[in-house]
Chains A and B, each alone.
Chain A
Amino acid sequence: AQSVSQHNHHVILSEAASLELGCNYSYGGTVNLFWYVQYPGQHLQLLLKYFSGDPLVKGIKGFEAEFIKSKFSFNLRKPSVQWSDTAEYFCAVTPQNSWGKLQFGAGTQVVVTP
């Protein structure tokens, strides 16, 4: 069965620290990969996505993610976080060339302290 695993449920770090959130998926075919973010009191927003091509994708707000096919991973990174990056981050997968349902990971709550 298709599944998405996020390694950390809760991360606390200081401003200017680097952030890396792990995401691994289990799926037999080719997939589209996404990172969504939910800021406190706001709705889910897309941070970045990978469909094909360059496995290093850049998203909004200085985030990037690297697709490593051999490891079934799509880790999210940001070199230097800000207090405003406090949010919950969700990795999601859907089969490629499909406009079907997203399967989400459990989410990682990130708290950035000033």
Chain B
Amino acid sequence: GAGVSQSPSNKVTEKGKDVELRCDPISGHTALYWYRQSLGQGLEFLIYFQGNSAPDKSGLPSDRFSAERTGGSVSTLTIQRTQQEDSAVYLCASSQTGAGASYNEQFFGPGTRLTVL
């Protein structure tokens, strides 16, 4: 497809369970980002991947959160031992990289709504 896709669109889980959220970026985009949108915290950066460089994990809220990007394309965000405060919409975005105004524009997916009971 032409845009960023995410799956599942909705996920309901029980406290303490692990969840995996998937992101398919726009083809050719080398940068991939995860954000979280929640009522109390607004839009927060979690992690980003740029090509083969080590990811910037500075926004991950705890060591229960991790992410990987396989083959420079698809990414999976994993939350272990979920807590109720993890309930949020998890957004993925991708962008081209390089100099100039045509780059550095992040295109967002529809998000995964995670509910932890």
Q: Is the CB of B99 within 8 A of A102?
A: no
* Contact assessment for B110 and A43 in the assembled complex, using a CB-CB cutoff below 8 Å: yes
Mask for A79-114, Cβ within 8 A of B = 1, else 0? 000000000001010100111111111110000000
Binding site for A on B (CB under 8 A): 31, 33, 35, 42-45, 48, 50, 56, 58-59, 91, 93, 95, 97, 99-101, 103-111
Q: How far is the CA of A63 from the CA of B111 in the complex (A)?
A: 25
Q: Which residues of B contact A68 (CB under 8 A)?
A: none
Instruction: List chain A residues, Cβ under 8 A from B97.
Output: 99
B108 contacts A43, CB within 8 Å? yes
Q: Which of A46, A105, A106, A107 contacts B105 (CB 8 A)?
A: A46
Please report the C-alpha to C-alpha distance between residue A98 and residue B59 in the assembled complex, in whole angstroms: 17
Contacts A90-B43, A104-B43; A99 near B108 (Cβ below 8 A):
no
* Contact partner, B95, options A45, A52, A99, Cβ 8 Å: A99
Contact A101 B59 (CB under 8 A): yes
Is there an interface contact between A101 and B110, defined as CB atoms closer than 8 Å? Answer: no
Least CB distance, A47 to chain B, in whole angstroms: 11
A100-B48 contact given A49-B101, A94-B104, CB 8 Å threshold: yes
A11 to chain B: which residues have CB within 8 Å? none
Evaluate contact between B50 and A107: CB separation under 8 angstroms: no
Quick check: B101 and A51 within 8 Å, CB to CB? yes
Contact present for A99 and B31 (CB under 8 Å): yes
Query: Quick check: B43 and A32 within 8 Å, CB to CB?
Result: no
Q: Is the CB of A101 within 8 A of B33?
A: yes
Contact at B45–A99, with CB atoms within 8 Å? Answer: no
Contact between B42 and A106, CB atoms less than 8 A apart? yes
Task: State the Cβ distance, B35 to closest chain A Cβ, in Å.
Answer: 8
Asked whether, in the complex, the Cβ of A99 is within 8 Å of the Cβ of B56, the reply is no
Beyond A44-B93, A102-B43, 11 extra complex contacts between A and B, CB < 8 Å: A42-B110, A46-B105, A51-B100, A97-B99, A99-B103, A100-B48, A101-B33, A101-B45, A101-B56, A102-B45, A104-B35
